[in-house]
């Protein structure tokens, strides 16, 4: 369920925002002020839908805090997780220049804050500022490459390798530590790697039995990282 936007909408301070150095390094002070005058921040709780597949695209979004998943409905009516995005990934980039509606849904898997820019203003600046447009194209390419390469990497592995890949993904890329609270359910992991929930549960149990990981409810501790990396690479 999506939260009440009006109650959770506040103005951002662009001068203190990492977005300035990450993305708007090629705009003038006047252009940055113009953008920041209408930039807002929205808070979402875990499980909230940020954008829904099929909704009309009206805004430009980027993730300031938290963690989200990108998913698409299959012909059978099930969700297929495409990717995960951490802070300062541009979660709406893949559709905003190619379609009038979102081609996938974005949902919070942790409490998250999203910054909102006026889409027409962003497009207007892109049409007038070549370097700004190049920055946009670079971010689109990076986001697309990440999704394609991650999915190819997963698909070349067998079951155990896929589960190991997901655990290492969260440890290395998302949390940068070997002990963390798994932000997704076993079912969501199964959706992401294209396996059944039962297979994911069994594989995690085998990893624990083999003393590769420890499981404390939703908390995961990677005990033998070298072995897990081997399974991810060759499993």
Tell me what the mean pLDDT of segment 158-173 comes to: 96
Residue 118 binned pLDDT confidence (cut-offs 50, 70, 90) = confident
Instruction: Choose between 113 and 97: higher pLDDT.
Output: 113
Give the count of domains, the chain. 2
Q: What is the pLDDT of residue 18?
A: 57
Structure tokens at 31: 């252009």
38: in domain: yes
What is the C-alpha to C-alpha distance for residues 149 and 144, in angstroms, rounded to an integer? Answer: 9
Domain that includes residue 192, residue range: 157-234
Same domain, 56 and 92: yes
pLDDT value, residue 8: 43
pLDDT band at 27 (very low <50, low <70, confident <90, very high): low
Which of 154, 186, 209 terminates a domain? The answer is 154
Dihedral (Cα; 95, 87, 143, 181), 10-degree rounding: -110
Give the end of a domain, one of 154, 179, 213.
Answer: 154
Clarify whether residues 92 and 205 are in a common domain.
Answer: no
**Which two three-digit tokens encode residue 60?**
């430009």
Radius of gyration over alpha carbons of the chain, in Å?
A: 19
Mean pLDDT of 176-193: 94
60 & 40 share domain: yes
Which of 51-60, 111-120, 135-144 shows the lowest mean pLDDT across its residues?
A: 135-144
Distance CA 180, CA 143 (A): 25
Give 21-24's long-range contacts (Cβ < 8 A, gap of 24+): 22/88, 23/62, 23/90, 23/135, 23/139, 24/132, 24/135
Specify the DSSP class assigned to residue 57: P
pLDDT at 26: 66
Q: Do residue 115 and residue 224 come from a single domain?
A: no
Answer whether residue 1 is part of any domain.
Answer: no
Q: 64 pLDDT band (50/70/90 cuts)?
A: confident
- Of 154, 188, 220, which one is at a domain's C-terminal end? 154
Q: Indicate whether 68 and 183 sit together in one domain.
A: no
Q: Which has more confidence, 186 or 5?
A: 186
Q: Do 20 and 131 belong together in one domain? A: yes
Answer yes or no: is 127 within a domain.
Answer: yes
Residues 148 and 223 in one domain: no
- What per-residue confidence (pLDDT) applies to 1? 40
- 117 and 224 fall within a common domain: no
Residue 129: which CATH number? 2.60.120.10
Lowest mean pLDDT segment, chosen from 13-22, 163-172, 186-195: 13-22
> Would you state the structure tokens that stand for residue 78, as one six-digit string?
């099930």
Write phi, then psi, for 113 (nearest 5 degrees). -120, 130
Residue 140 and residue 219 in one domain? no
The CATH number of the domain holding residue 229 is 1.10.10.10
- Do 168 and 117 share a domain, yes or no? no
Please indicate, yes or no, if residue 166 is contained in any of the structural domains.
yes
């Amino acid at each position: 369920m999506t939260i009440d936007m009006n109650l959770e909408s506040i103005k951002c301070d662009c001068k203190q925002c990492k977005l300035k150095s990450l993305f708007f390094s090629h705009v003038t002070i006047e252009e940055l002020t113009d953008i920041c005058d209408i930039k807002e921040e929205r808070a979402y709780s875990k499980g909230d839908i940020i954008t829904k597949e099929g909704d009309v695209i009206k805004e430009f979004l980027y993730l300031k805090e938290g963690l989200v998943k990108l998913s698409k409905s299959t012909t059978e009516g099930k969700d297929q997780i495409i990717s995960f995005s951490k802070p300062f990934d541009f979660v709406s980039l893949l559709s905003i220049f190619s379609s009038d509606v979102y081609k996938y849904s974005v949902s919070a898997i942790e409490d998250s804050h999203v910054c909102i820019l006026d889409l027409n203003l962003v497009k207007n600046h892109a049409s007038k500022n070549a370097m700004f447009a190049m920055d946009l194209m670079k971010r689109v390419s990076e986001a697309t490459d990440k999704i394609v390469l991650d999915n190819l990497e997963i698909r070349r592995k067998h079951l155990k390798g896929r589960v190991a890949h997901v655990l290492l993904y969260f440890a290395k890329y998302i949390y940068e530590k070997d002990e963390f609270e798994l932000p997704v359910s076993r079912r969501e992991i199964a959706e992401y790697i294209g396996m059944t929930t039962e297979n994911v549960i069994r594989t995690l149990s085998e990893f624990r039995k083999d003393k590769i990981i420890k499981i404390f409810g939703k908390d995961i501790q990677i005990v033998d990282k070298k072995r897990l990396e081997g399974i991810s690479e060759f499993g």
